[in-house]
Structure 1
C-alpha cells in the first residue's frame, strides 16, 4: 500500500465543487467571527474548531485513498469448434486417412476428430453437424471424450430428405455458439475446424464464412475424399453411413446414371481464405496429426498468467475519527455555554 491520493466518491466534477463549497463556508465563518468577535459568545477555540470541522468535511468529500497493487491470475484456455459435413456425399468410399485403406469420407472425418481431441488436451470442444441445415450437437464442453463419442455416432443424412448440399449451412450455428463463448470467456483462443468434401449442389449462392473471423483465432478446413470421386450410396434413415445401402446408388437426373461426387478443393480453399485459415487435404499419407494444424496446436494450450493491477482503496476512517472528536467537542461546548447562560 503506497501513494496517498484522492478519489472523490461524487466524481471529479461534483466532488471538488462540494469540497470547495464546504471550505468556503468555513472561511466565511472565520471572517464573520473576526469582524463580530466582540458581539458573540463564541470563543477563538470555537472558531478554530468549526473551521476544522469544515476542513475535515471537505477532505471527506474528496475521499482520501491509497494506491494498492494487486495480483490477479488469468487462465487462458482454448475452445475448439468442429463442423462436420453429413450430407449424402460423405458416404462415398473414396477417402483414406494415414493408410492405403479405402474408407468413407465420414469415417475419415471421424478419425480427424479423434486426432483433434488428442492435439488439444486442455481444450473445450463443441460439435456442429451440417447437411440440409446446421445443428449444434455438442455444446462447448471440456470433456474431449464427449466429442469423440459424438464422432462415433455421426451418420449421413438420408438421401430422401436431401435438397442439395451447401457449405454455408453451419455458419449460423457456429456464429451463435462462438459469440456466446466469447461473452463467457473473452480471453479464450477459439479454433475452428470445418470437415467436408466441399461439394456444393444447392442452387443458391453460398454465403461467406468471413462473418466468423471476429471470433476465430485460427481456422483449418479439412478436405476428405478424392478428386476422382465415387458413386453416392442411396441411404435411408436407418442406413449406416459409409455403407452401400440396398437401394443402390443416387441417380443423376441429368444423365440417368449413378451420380459421382468429387472432392472440391477449390471450394474448400475459398472457405479457408474467408476464415483467414489453412486448407488441409487428408489422404493415405497425410493426417491432421502430421499437418499444419498439428504444428499450430502447440501454440494453443492452457496457460496461467499473473497480472499486476493497481486500484485505489478509500482511507477515510482517520477523518471520521477527527470529525467525531470535533463534533463531541462542539456538543460539549454548546452544553457548557447553555448552562452558563441560564
Structure 2
C-alpha cells in the first residue's frame, strides 16, 4: 500500500534549514508587500507569485516521497563465495586484526567475513566451512546479514572428529558451488575468499586449486595466525573453553604447536591466479576488495517484502519553473516600460 512521506534528499538538518529559510522568505515577502502597499508598484499577483515560489522550494527541500512495498530487488552481478577453515588449529589464539590484541584465528576470520560482506554492498554471497569435510552452509543469497549471522555461528570442529588438516578439503564443494553459480548467472563476476591458517598436518599430497579458475573472476587467500604459532586447545562438547587442555603431539607427548603457513597460502593463491593476504596487526580486509567486481545490475524477485521510497519532486519543480517564467516575463515587461 502506497503512502506519502517526507525524505529530504539533502538530509533532515540541511533540508529542514532550507525549508525554514524559504518559508521565512515567503512570510517576509507578504509582510513587506503589506507595509509598502501605497509606496510600491508591486501587484498582489507578484506578491503571491514570489511567496508561492518560496513555499514550493521549501516543500522540495523536504522531498515529498511515496513509500511503496515491493518484492523486487536490484542486485549487483558480483557473487562472492567465502570458505572458512574450522579445523581445531583455528582455535589457537595467536591472530591479530588491525590491532595488537591477540584473538583466536577463527575470531579474526569472523571479523574478516563481515568486512567482506561490507565491501560488496547489494551483491550475492555463498558461504561454506571446511574441516574434516567441506559443507555449503549458505547457498547463494543477496542477504548479507545471513552471511554475517553465519559467521557468528562458526566454531572449531571437535577434536574427536579431527583427522589432521588437509587444505584441499573444500575443493570439491567449491567446484560444485562455483559451477552452479556460473550456470545460473553466466555473466556474473565470481570472487572467492579462502580463509585459513594454511596448516596441513595430513600426510596426503594436497590437490591443486587450479581447477576452480575456469569459474572464478578473482580469488583471495586470507592467512590468519602467526608464524610463531601457539598451543592447540582441546575442543568439543565435553571441553570447556579456557580449561587448559591442549592437543598433544603424539611424537613428543607435549602440547602440539600450530603455526600459520603463509607459503602454502601464497601457493594456493598462485594456483587460483589470485592474491594472497596475511591478516595481522596492520593488515585487515580493507585491502582485499576485488578489482574484478561487476558494475552491472540485475533485478530479482524475493519472498521478503521491502519498502521503496520514490521522491516526487517533479510536480513542484514544474510549478516553480512556471512561476519563475512568469517572474522573468514580468521583469522584462516592467523594464521596457521604464525605458
Please state which band the TM-score falls in when normalised by the shorter chain. 0.5 to 0.7
The equivalent position to 2:285 in structure 1, one of 284, 288, 302, is: 288
Q: Deviation of residue 237 (structure 1)?
A: 3.2
Contact kept in structure 2, 1:122 and 1:302, CA below 8 Å: no
Q: What is the SS of the residue equivalent to 1:273?
A: helix
Task: Give the paired residue count.
Answer: 225
Question: 2:336 maps to what in 1?
Answer: none
Question: 1:106 maps to what in 2?
Answer: 106
Counterpart-to-counterpart distance in 1, 2:151 and 2:125: 12
Deviations 1:137-182 (A, max 9, x none): 0111000000000000000000111111111011111100111111
The equivalent position to 1:300 in structure 2, one of 285, 293, 306, is: 293
Question: 1:236 maps to what in 2?
Answer: 236
Task: Give unmatched runs, 5+ long, in structure 2.
Answer: 1-73, 299-339
Q: What is the SS of the residue equivalent to 1:191?
A: strand
Contact kept in structure 1, 2:128 and 2:136, CA below 8 Å: yes
Counterpart-to-counterpart distance in 1, 2:109 and 2:88: 14
Q: Counterparts of 1:162-181 in structure 2 under 5 Å?
A: 162-181=162-181
The equivalent position to 1:251 in structure 2, one of 240, 248, 271, is: 248
Structure with the greater alpha carbon radius of gyration: 1
Counterpart-to-counterpart distance in 1, 2:271 and 2:107: 26
Q: What is the SS of the residue equivalent to 1:183?
A: helix
Counterpart-to-counterpart distance in 1, 2:182 and 2:190: 9
Contact kept in structure 1, 2:76 and 2:124, CA below 8 Å: no
Deviations 1:186-226 (A, max 9, x none): 00000000000001011111110001000010000000000
Over 3 Å counting, the alpha-carbon distance change for 1:89 and 1:75 in structure 2 is: closer
Counterpart-to-counterpart distance in 1, 2:126 and 2:239: 26
Contact kept in structure 1, 2:112 and 2:285, CA below 8 Å: yes
Q: Counterparts of 1:92-103 in structure 2 under 5 Å?
A: 92-103=92-103
Q: Counterparts of 1:189-200 in structure 2 under 5 Å?
A: 189-200=189-200
Counterpart-to-counterpart distance in 1, 2:294 and 2:105: 29
TM-score by structure 2 length?
Answer: 0.64
TM-score by structure 1 length?
Answer: 0.63
Over aligned residues, Cα RMSD in angstroms?
Answer: 1.8
Counterpart-to-counterpart distance in 2, 1:174 and 1:238: 32
Question: 1:158 maps to what in 2?
Answer: 158
Over 3 Å counting, the alpha-carbon distance change for 1:193 and 1:143 in structure 2 is: same
Q: Deviation of residue 236 (structure 1)?
A: 1.1
Question: 2:273 maps to what in 1?
Answer: 276
Q: Counterparts of 1:123-134 in structure 2 under 5 Å?
A: 123-134=123-134
Counterpart-to-counterpart distance in 2, 1:238 and 1:124: 37
Deviations 1:67-112 (A, max 9, x none): xxxxxxx986000000000000000000010111110000000000
Question: 1:49 maps to what in 2?
Answer: none
Task: Give unmatched runs, 5+ long, in structure 1.
Answer: 1-73, 306-342
